[in-house]
């Protein structure tokens, strides 16, 4: 972007020189105009990339410059920097297509960020290339749009991080645009001419994820009739994006860590090492630190993938971006729906800006698309809004009659938040209370969870994380000594995990039972678990059901001779 022409339109000489100095330090090619007349002549050749203008000028209004450029087909982004800023003038300028609106005194940092953002957004929306952008075509759905301070800071970090090869961890709620940010990092990086390969870890089972990442050789398993190239090879020299990396199992995490450290891997069923050179960008919608604390995510992998951490703010915290997002979505829908000149009324826009958007940008896009489909004309009005938004679904609109007690008001507020947010964690976050506190209040008031997805209570285990096969695998790996020493601390936790694993193994196919018995008793002997009658009963049942009427193998007899395992059989 540096080196592109920026025209400053300001009739006050000192202010003009101050703005010019700030932009020249940022290596922009600066032109200066002291009047609208001079500005018209300087923009006639179409070489100006962006205009920085005062709103009130001696020979006219800065908004007229915006209208004249549109009329002459010489459109370019305009950033207004004015000492006469009011809310109404800012809204009017934005409606006419201004890129940004700053009030004096504006800092050099705010000015350069506003100009850089305006240029980047303009280039993306009009299919042009910036000097450091790739020759890659940018699809409309991949455009990052935002004028709020939070998004400007994020854009600044993206531009700073992109040229370097370090791994990046992107955190943010579902639908906030983590993959779009990842694509932006790739687009501004030296790897932009090589593939960007996205993989959603939640959409692939842990058993298949290893095959997806590293591929397999022909004959590696039944049905492997030909060699498959994994995404680690596909993304070589480019960028690999692992979305929802928190859903990856411990086994796949260990293999991923080794591949990242050694920069090499083996395909499933293969013996030859494959070298790879890629940049890893990971994304998560939960706290990985919490996952590490509960041993569902490897600590060493966590520090390997979070060289740089970027946080994408939720849409409810950057509502200034909503008009621009809607404008971009409408432009995209005009190309796909066959409708033209789509616009939205101020009343409908106000309703959308008051909504809390638990589904973030993804939900906003779906709502806009729904409104376009429901309207018969080209104007989106309040009547086209979904019922929950049209009815003013917002905590600010909850009204209570005089005489309502504090407890009744609290109950109604919590009920409304549980209805509007897809998860309990999001509802608790917006209410500014802990998840444990929310659970307590829901139980106290006898409230249903409504639309909220069920999340684990603190200090309990998520069944989706530890399925039957997962429990059995953990027990087998621990018993056979495969797990790393740090991971074997799983068995220093409450013994109910081993007990539950035994219960699940009891229901598993017969071919697993003998291995499960060996693993469980080995875990008890080697890890010195504290056991009680309740813990021993399912293990004892498993032993009796598996080995009833059979001769115990030598390895089992050796284990059974220990005091720990003998006590299990005695209690059972």
Give pLDDT, residue 495. Answer: 44
Q: How far apart are CA 180 and CA 391, in angstroms?
A: 31
pLDDT over 90, % of the chain: 15
Q: How far apart are CA 68 and CA 152, in angstroms?
A: 29
| Residue 561 CA: distances (Å) to CA of 300, 480, 495 | 37, 18, 21
Is the Cβ–Cβ distance between 524 and 570 less than 8 Å?
A: no
The 3 state secondary structure assigned to 226-276 is CCEECHHHHCCCCEEEEECHHHCCHHHHHHHHHHHHHCEEECECCCCEEEC
User: Between 533 and 232, where is the model more confident?
Assistant: 232
Does the structure show a pLDDT above 50 at 518?
A: yes
**Tokens representing residue 26 in the block:** 């940022």
Q: How far apart are CA 570 and CA 534, in angstroms?
A: 13
User: Between 532 and 243, where is the model more confident?
Assistant: 243
Give pLDDT, residue 3. Answer: 55
Q: How far apart are CA 413 and CA 427, in angstroms?
A: 11
User: Between 198 and 67, where is the model more confident?
Assistant: 198
**Tokens representing residue 349 in the block:** 């826009």
pLDDT band at 21 (very low <50, low <70, confident <90, very high): confident
Does the structure show a pLDDT above 50 at 433?
A: yes
At residue 381, φ and ψ (nearest 5 deg) are -120, 180
Give pLDDT, residue 550. Answer: 52
pLDDT band at 9 (very low <50, low <70, confident <90, very high): confident
| Residue 101 CA: distances (Å) to CA of 87, 126, 322, 348 | 10, 21, 16, 23
Superfamily (CATH) of domain 5-125: Response regulator (3.40.50.2300)
Give pLDDT, residue 506. Answer: 58
**Tokens representing residue 482 in the block:** 């495969």
- Helix or strand (DSSP H, E) at 207: helix 206-214
Domain made up of 398-445: CATH architecture: Orthogonal Bundle (1.10)
Read off the pLDDT of residues 144-161 as tens digits, 9 standing for 90 and up. 677 788 888 898 888 889
Give pLDDT, residue 486. Answer: 35
Residue 468 makes CB contacts below 8 A (sequence gap 6+) with 504, 507, 508
Q: How far apart are CA 304 and CA 260, in angstroms?
A: 8
Is the Cβ–Cβ distance between 214 and 232 less than 8 Å?
A: yes
- Helix or strand (DSSP H, E) at 92: helix 87-95
Give pLDDT, residue 70. Answer: 73
Q: Residue 57: helix, strand or coil by DSSP? A: strand
Report the Cα 228 to chain-centroid distance in Å: 29
Give pLDDT, residue 198. Answer: 92
Give pLDDT, residue 140. Answer: 35
pLDDT band at 510 (very low <50, low <70, confident <90, very high): low
Read off the pLDDT of residues 362-376 as tens digits, 9 standing for 90 and up. 999 999 999 998 888
DSSP of 190-211? TTTTS-EEEEEGGGS-HHHHHH
Give pLDDT, residue 282. Answer: 96
How, if at all, do strands 215-216 and 228-229 pair? antiparallel
Cα–Cα nearest to 512, from 479, 558, 483: 479
Read off the pLDDT of residues 380-420 as tens digits, 9 standing for 90 and up. 988 888 887 876 444 445 666 667 788 888 888 888 888 77
Q: Is it true that the peptide bond before 481 is cis, omega within 30 degrees of 0?
A: no
Give pLDDT, residue 135. Answer: 28
pLDDT band at 171 (very low <50, low <70, confident <90, very high): very high
Q: Residue 175: helix, strand or coil by DSSP? A: coil
Is the Cβ–Cβ distance between 142 and 183 less than 8 Å?
A: yes
pLDDT band at 540 (very low <50, low <70, confident <90, very high): low
Read off the pLDDT of residues 49-64 as tens digits, 9 standing for 90 and up. 888 888 877 777 777 7
User: Between 55 and 535, where is the model more confident?
Assistant: 55
Cα–Cα nearest to 250, from 207, 301, 201, 296: 296
Number of CB atoms found within 10 A of residue 136's CB: 13
| Residue 36 CA: distances (Å) to CA of 32, 69, 495 | 11, 12, 78
Give pLDDT, residue 455. Answer: 41
Length of the chain measured in residues: 572
| Residue 324 CA: distances (Å) to CA of 64, 95, 99, 361, 493 | 21, 10, 9, 12, 50
**Tokens representing residue 308 in the block:** 């740089």
In the Cβ-directed half-sphere of 250, how many Cα atoms lie within 13 Å? 24
Number of CB atoms found within 10 A of residue 233's CB: 18
For the ranges 129-143, 275-289, 304-318, 388-402, the lowest mean pLDDT is seen at 129-143
pLDDT band at 525 (very low <50, low <70, confident <90, very high): low
Give pLDDT, residue 489. Answer: 36
* Domain 140-311 fold: Rossmann fold (3.40.50)
The mean predicted confidence, pLDDT, of the chain is 75
Which CATH number is 315-395 given? 1.10.8.60
Q: How far apart are CA 501 and CA 523, in angstroms?
A: 12
- Helix or strand (DSSP H, E) at 551: none
pLDDT band at 304 (very low <50, low <70, confident <90, very high): very high
Mean pLDDT (whole number) for 289-302: 91
Give pLDDT, residue 487. Answer: 36
Is the Cβ–Cβ distance between 155 and 114 less than 8 Å?
A: no
């Amino acid at each position: 972007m540096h080196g592109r022409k920026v025209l400053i339109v300001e009739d006050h000489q000192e202010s003009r020189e101050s703005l010019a100095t700030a932009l020249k330090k940022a290596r922009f090619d600066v032109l200066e105009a002291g009047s609208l007349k001079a500005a018209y002549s300087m923009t006639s050749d179409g070489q100006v990339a962006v205009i920085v203008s005062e709103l009130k000028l001696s020979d006219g209004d800065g908004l007229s410059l915006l209208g004249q450029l549109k009329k002459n087909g010489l459109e370019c982004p305009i950033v207004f920097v004015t000492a006469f800023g009011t809310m109404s003038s800012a809204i009017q300028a934005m409606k006419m297509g201004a890129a940004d609106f700053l009030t004096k005194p504006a800092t050099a940092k705010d000015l350069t960020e506003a100009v850089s953002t305006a240029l980047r957004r303009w280039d993306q929306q009009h299919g042009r290339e910036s000097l450091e952008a790739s020759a890659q075509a940018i699809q409309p759905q991949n455009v990052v749009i935002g004028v709020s301070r939070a998004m400007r800071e994020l854009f600044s970090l993206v531009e700073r991080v992109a040229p370097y090869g370090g791994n990046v961890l992107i955190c943010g709620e579902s639908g906030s645009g983590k993959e779009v940010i990842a694509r932006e990092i790739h687009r501004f990086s030296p790897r932009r001419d090589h593939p960007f390969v996205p993989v959603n870890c939640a959409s692939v089972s842990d058993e298949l994820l290893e095959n997806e990442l590293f591929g397999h050789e022909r004959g590696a398993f039944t049905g492997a009739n030909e060699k498959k190239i994994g995404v680690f090879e596909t993304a070589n020299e480019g960028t690999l994006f692992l979305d929802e990396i928190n859903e990856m199992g411990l086994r796949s995490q260990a293999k991923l860590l080794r591949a990242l450290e050694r920069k090499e891997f083996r395909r499933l069923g293969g013996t030859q090492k494959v070298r790879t050179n890629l940049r890893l960008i990971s994304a998560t919608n939960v706290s990985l630190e919490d996952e590490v604390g509960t041993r569902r995510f490897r600590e060493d992998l966590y520090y390997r993938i979070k060289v740089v951490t970027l946080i994408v703010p939720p849409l409810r915290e950057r509502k200034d971006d909503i008009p621009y997002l809607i404008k971009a979505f409408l432009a995209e829908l005009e190309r796909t729906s066959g409708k033209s000149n789509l616009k939205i009324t101020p009343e409908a826009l106000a309703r959308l800006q008051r909504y809390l958007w638990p589904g973030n940008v993804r939900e906003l896009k779906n709502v806009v698309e729904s409104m376009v489909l429901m309207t018969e004309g080209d104007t989106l009005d309040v009547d086209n809004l979904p019922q929950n938004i049209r009815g003013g679904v917002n905590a600010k609109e909850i009204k209570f009659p005089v005489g309502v007690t504090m407890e009744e008001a609290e109950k109604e507020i919590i009920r409304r938040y549980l209805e509007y947010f897809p998860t309990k964690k999001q509802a608790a976050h917006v209410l500014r209370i802990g998840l444990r506190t929310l659970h307590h209040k829901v139980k106290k008031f006898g409230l249903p969870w409504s639309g909220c997805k069920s999340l684990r209570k603190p200090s309990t285990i998520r069944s989706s994380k530890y399925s039957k096969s997962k429990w059995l695998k953990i027990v087998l790996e621990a018993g056979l000594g495969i797990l790393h020493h740090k991971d074997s601390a799983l068995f220093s936790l409450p013994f109910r995990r081993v007990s539950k694993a035994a219960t699940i193994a009891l229901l598993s196919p017969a071919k697993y039972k003998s291995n499960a018995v060996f693993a469980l008793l080995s875990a008890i002997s080697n890890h010195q678990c504290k056991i009680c009658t309740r813990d021993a009963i399912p293990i004892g049942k498993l032993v009796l059901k598996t080995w009833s009427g059979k001769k115990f193998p030598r390895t089992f007899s050796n284990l059974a001779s220990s005091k720990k395992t003998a006590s299990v059989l005695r209690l059972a």
